[in-house]
Amino acid sequence: MEMTLRWYGSKFDTVTLQQIRQIPGVTGVITTLYDTAPGDVWSRERIRELKEEVEASGLHIAGIESVNIHDAIKVGSADRDKYIDNYIETLENLGQEDIHLVCYNFMPVFDWTRTELARVRPDGSTVLAYTQEAVDAIDPEDMFNSIAADTNGTVMPGWEPERMAHIKELFEMYKDIDDEKLFENLKYFLERIMPTCDKYNINMAIHPDDPAWSVFGLPRIIINKANILRMMKMVDNPHNGVTFCSGSYGTNLENDLPDMIRSLKGRIHFAHVRNLKFNSPTDFEEAAHLSTDGTFDMYEIMKALYEIGFDGPIRPDHGRMIWGEVAMPGYGLYDRALGATYLNGLWEAIEKGAR
Catalytically active residues are 207, 245, 272, 317-318, 331
Distance between the two ends of the chain, CA-based, in angstroms? 17
CB 152 within 8 A of CB 332: no
Amino acid identity for residue 343 in this structure: L
| Positive/negative CA dihedral, 299, 305, 308, 309 | negative
Q: Side chain identity at 19, as an amino acid letter?
A: Q
Gap between the Cα atoms of 234 and 240, Å rounded: 10
CB neighbours of residue 325 within 10 Å: 17
Provide the residue type at 140 as one letter. P
Residues 6+ apart with CB under 8 A from 189: 69, 73, 80, 84, 87
Cβ atoms within 10 Å, residue 139: 10
Pairing status of strand 126-131 against strand 116-120: antiparallel
Read off φ and ψ for residue 127, nearest 5 degrees: -145, 165
Rg (CA), the chain: 19
CA angle 81, 84, 86 (to 5 degrees): 115
Q: Do the Cβ atoms of 183 and 219 come closer than 8 Å?
A: no
